[in-house]
Amino acid sequence: MQIGILLFEGFTALDAIGPYQILSSVPGAETVFVAEETGPVLDHVGALSFLATATLTEVTAPDVLVVPGGPGQSAQMTNGPLLDWLRAVDVTSTWTTSVCTGSLLLAAAGLLDGRRATSHWLALDALREYGAEPTGERVVIDGKYVTGAGVSAGIDMALTLAGSLVDDRFAQFVQLGTEYDPQPPYDAGSPEKAPADLVEEMRAAARFTAASGG
């Protein structure tokens, strides 16, 4: 079983690594990091590059497609060859998945039309503009499309998927192996739980970034 994880400049590392750490444990899984060109792909922080080991033309039929998000996603929304590739591999994929604003790329490729999906909480409105039906859930499954909310939600998304790919016991085994027994020291991980002024500050920063074309 091939798991293809897409990379593009400005991706968010944890978006990709959450699913990677879980799904690469699936028996028989071959995981490939795929990008337009092989070689280093810089993340959005600008301090870390992952090595892409295959080009889009080399990965034609992954069983599981994982599309991370990150600030670099916006520059890909009009990347014709990339969107063509998403549409092409989706034809034969068993599961087409995303984390964070990766769902906007799937939506821009037309793959989420009328489907329930999620994204980073700041991107839910944009997801609707691209034809999906956004929900505030952390993991959304609609047919073979599995979307996760922002950044860290890729872990929950992938554990859910691992249960379907193998079985519940396997997913629990991976959860135990990665000691995924989260104990956040704060309870501010969603706009419903975080202090309201902090949510507004982040919304304002996002509007500024959007307005300035960032």
**Under the rule (CB under 8 A), what is the footprint of a second copy?**
12-14, 17-18, 20-21, 24, 30-33, 40, 45, 47-51, 53, 100, 120-121, 138-139, 149-153, 155-156, 159-160, 163, 168-169, 171-173, 175-186, 188-191, 193-195, 198-199, 201-202
d(CA 66, CA 58): 16
Smallest distance from the beta carbon of 74 to a second copy, in angstroms?
A: 16
96 or 118: CB nearest a second copy? 118
Q: What is the smallest separation between the CB atom of 186 and a second copy, expressed in angstroms? A: 5
| CB closer to a second copy out of 14 and 83 | 14
Contact of 142 with 103, CB cutoff 8 Å:
no
100 is catalytic: yes
Spatial CB neighbours of 123, under 8 Å, sequence gap ≥ 6 = 69, 100, 101, 103, 104
Q: Of these residues, 100, 108, 151, 161, which one is catalytic?
A: 100
CA angle in degrees (0–180, nearest 5) for 167-173-179: 140
Name the burial class of residue 97, with classes exposed (0-12), middle (13-18) and buried (19+) by CB atoms within 10 angstroms of its CB: buried
